[in-house]
Amino acid sequence: MSPVPVPVPRSAADFTSDFSAAGLDGSLGPGARPALLLVDPATAYTDQASPLYAGVETAVAGMQRLLAAARSHEIPVYVTRVRFSGPGDGGLFARKVPATRVWHEASRWAQFIPGLGPEAGETLITKQYPSAFFGTPLASLLSAARIDTVLVAGLTTSGCIRATALDALQNGFIPIVAKDAVGDRHPQIHASNLVDIQAKIADVETVSWIEDYLASLPASPAP
């Protein structure tokens, strides 16, 4: 019997080249009516005592920049949180990932990272599963506001960001993931998910690119 070949570790650049050769290199381009969707900016990911601590301080800085830009250009802001309050909340997701206990309403780790919670006039979305769309009114709210582009930032890249970007696409909204305003607990998982998201789900851009895009939009008309 011949030996089973051992996979050779490959870089994100290798995968990008493979995807491009296979035709997985399309671009959506931004629309004319964007909104910022800030996914689960919770202290569970930044408090080193939390079981979900992920070392995502750089991503938090990117989220802060993006939120400031969204407010400066007066585009709609939607912020999500996860909340469990009793038995059965979270269903199989909570059963699969016991660490989701940090999302109980009494947990200090379920609170927003300072400065990243919604302000007056911004929309809070409460969810119990990875996608910001699943079991929430988000798609209806975006449609009612005539939003065509969702700028996605938050935590974490391989979980809630990926699920949210996919559901944005499937609901007819252009997803743009801010690669330096999302993060994950392992750099390789973060990088590989961004490559795959870019190939199949969303446009992946920098915070600087998004700032320039927002600056290029026509000014909102006076009320």
Residues annotated catalytic, as ranges: 160
pLDDT in tens, the chain (223 residues): 566 666 656 665 665 666 666 666 789 999 999 999 999 999 999 999 999 999 999 999 999 999 999 999 999 999 999 999 988 999 999 999 999 999 998 899 999 999 999 999 999 999 999 999 999 999 999 999 999 999 999 999 999 999 999 999 999 999 999 999 999 999 999 999 999 999 999 999 999 999 999 999 997 644 4
pLDDT of residue 222: 43
- The whole-model pTM stands at 0.88
SS3 content of the chain, % helix, strand, coil (to 5): 40, 20, 40
Q: What is the per-residue pLDDT for 2?
A: 60
d(CA 181, CA 59): 4
Q: Where are the domains of the chain?
A: 31-216
pLDDT tens, residue by residue, 169-203: 999 999 999 999 999 999 999 999 999 999 999 99
CATH number for the segment(s) 31-216: 3.40.50.850
Which residues, including other chains, have CB under 8 Å from residue 182's CB and lie 6 or more apart? 59, 62, 152, 153, 154, 155, 156, 157, 161, 190, 194
